[in-house]
């Protein structure tokens, strides 16, 4: 069965510091991968998605970036964090197009980031 991991689980960082969040998926090949941010008490905002190694699509302009160095690894980064970057960061995976043709997305446990 498929499993998705995220780390760290929680993180407290000062404004202006760098960020690196990691997401890995097991039990599937060539998944679509997604990064979402959820502000406290709010909905889910899609930040980035990737359909393959090195392929990143950005949904919103921001000081964050994403990379996919391996098939089942997705990284979210920032060079300098802002206060507004605080939130719950969720990684998700979905089956690639052509295989079952569906859109189910399954979320990782999330990273709770606090920028002070």
Write out the residues near other proteins by the rule CB under 8 A: 32, 42-44, 46, 49, 51, 90, 94, 96-97, 101-110
End-to-end CA distance of the chain: 38
Give the Cα separation of 103 and 22 in Å (integer). Answer: 23
Q: Which is nearer to other proteins, 42 or 80 (CB)?
A: 42
Q: Which is nearer to other proteins, 14 or 43 (CB)?
A: 43
By residue count, the chain amounts to 116
Distance CA 11, CA 3 (A): 22
Q: How far is the CB of 60 from other proteins (least distance, A)?
A: 12
At closest approach, how far in Å is the CB of 108 from other proteins? 6
> What does 61-86 look like in DSSP terms, one character per residue?
-SSEEEEEEETTEEEEEESS--GGG-
The smaller minimum CB distance to other proteins, of residues 14 and 104, is found at 104
The nearest distance, CB 16 to other proteins, in angstroms, is 27
| Choice between 42 and 79, CB closer to other proteins | 42
**Both tokens of residue 71?**
């098939």
């Amino acid at each position: 069965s498929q499993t998705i991991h995220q780390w760290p689980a929680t993180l407290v960082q000062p404004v202006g510091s760098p960020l690196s969040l990691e997401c890995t998926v097991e039990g599937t090949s060539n998944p679509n991968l997604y990064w979402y941010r959820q502000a406290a008490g709010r909905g889910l905002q899609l930040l980035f998605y990737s359909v393959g190694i090195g392929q990143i699509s950005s949904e919103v302009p921001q000081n964050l970036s994403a990379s996919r160095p391996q098939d089942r690894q997705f990284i979210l980064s920032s060079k300098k964090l802002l206060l507004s970057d605080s939130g719950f960061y969720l990684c998700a995976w979905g089956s690639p197009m052509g295989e079952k043709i569906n859109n189910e997305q399954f979320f990782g446990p999330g990273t709770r980031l606090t920028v002070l």
